Every structure is written in C-alpha cells, then in structure tokens.
Amino acid sequence: MRFKIVSLIAAMAFVSACATEPEEDAAASSAGAQETQAAAPAPAAAPAAAAEQIAPGSQRDFIVNVGDRVYFDFDRSDIRGDQVATLEAQAAWLQNFRGVTIVVEGHADERGTREYNLALAERRANAHKDYLVSLGVDPARVETVSYGKERPAVLGSNEAAWAQNRRGVVVLRNAPAS
C-alpha cells in the first residue's frame, strides 16, 4: 500500500513538473519581468568601489599600485632589464612610506636540489634587496628570506609555471591593514 502511495505522489510530482504555462500567461509573465528589470535602476558602481577601498601604505596598496614581485631567468639571480621599472616603483613607494619595513622572499622553480634552490633563491632575494638599496631604500628596512622551491606560486612542471616561480616577492611588515 505504501509503495502505491509513494508511486502516486512521485507520478503527480513528475506531471506537475512537466506542466507548462499557457502562452498568454507566459508572455505576460515575461513582459512583467522585463518591465520590472527595465524600471529598476542599474546598480551603481560606487558601492563596489567603496567596498574596494585600499588603505594607503597597505600590502594591498603595494600589490595593486606597484607590484610586489620581480621575476628571474632560469638559474640566474641578476636583475632582468624588464624588471627594473617594478623595482623603481617599489623603491619610490617605500620612500613615501618610510615607516614600513619589508621582507624580500626569494623563490626558485622546482628544478634542482632543495639545497641548490635555497642558495639560488637567497641570491635572488639579496639581488632584489641590493637593487632597492641602490635606489635609496634604507638597508635596515629590508630583510631577506629564501624559500627555494618550497612555496611555488604556480603548480606545474612546464616553462610557464617555472617562470612564475622564479621570483622575488616583497612582503610588508608593520603596514596598515588593507
């Protein structure tokens, strides 16, 4: 008996789900929805912009307005010419926010031994720091750390992933929250 009741309920649910509105009602319903959409003003961009306020001197400010990383060539720790503009922008930003101290993280791609990549990433972090210091940043404000291949930005065993993992990244200390 229960089986029949459950079957009957399931059949009724199936039939009602397949039912369609008469064309007049559907057209009226669609027109009403279109009128409602047309009458409602488009959402203003201001609330989204207000929610995206970035505190000056914050890590978010640094990332969005300057860029927090520079990239290196395979098995190299010298500063590439195409990365100089980012380093100059970082130095200028740091001159504007003299109370902020930073840590430059050195990273490497997955190729090579752990020990080799730790040493290479350390040379990269030091090259990054030295360049900022050469542009006037007080060396006492800059620490370095090497992560080698332990913290990849991108997973993958291809040149595109490796290129993004060979990097120096600036992390702000004692900066205001974003």
Give me the sheet containing 167-173, strands edge to edge.
69-71, 167-173, 101-107, 142-148
Question: Quick one: DSSP state of residue 17?
Answer: H
- What does the buried/exposed string (b/e) look like for 89-124 if buried means 16 or more CB atoms within 10 Å of the residue's CB? ebbebbeebeebbbebbbbbbeebeeeebbbbbbbb
- Average pLDDT, whole number, for the chain? 82
pLDDT at 112 over 60: yes
pLDDT digits (tens, 9 = 90+) for 3-41: 455 454 554 544 444 444 444 444 444 444 343 333 444
Q: Which two tokens stand for residue 87?
A: 């380093």
Domains of the chain: 2-39 (no CATH), 59-173 (3.30.1330.60)
DSSP string, 59-110: HHHHHHHT-SEEE--TT--SPPGGGHHHHHHHHHHHHH-TT-EEEEEEE--S
* CA dist., res. 121 & res. 71, Å (int): 11
51-103 pLDDT per residue, tens: 478 999 999 999 999 999 999 999 999 999 999 999 999 999 999 999 999 99
When pLDDT is cut at 50, 70 and 90, the band that residue 175 belongs to is confident
Q: pTM for this structure?
A: 0.70
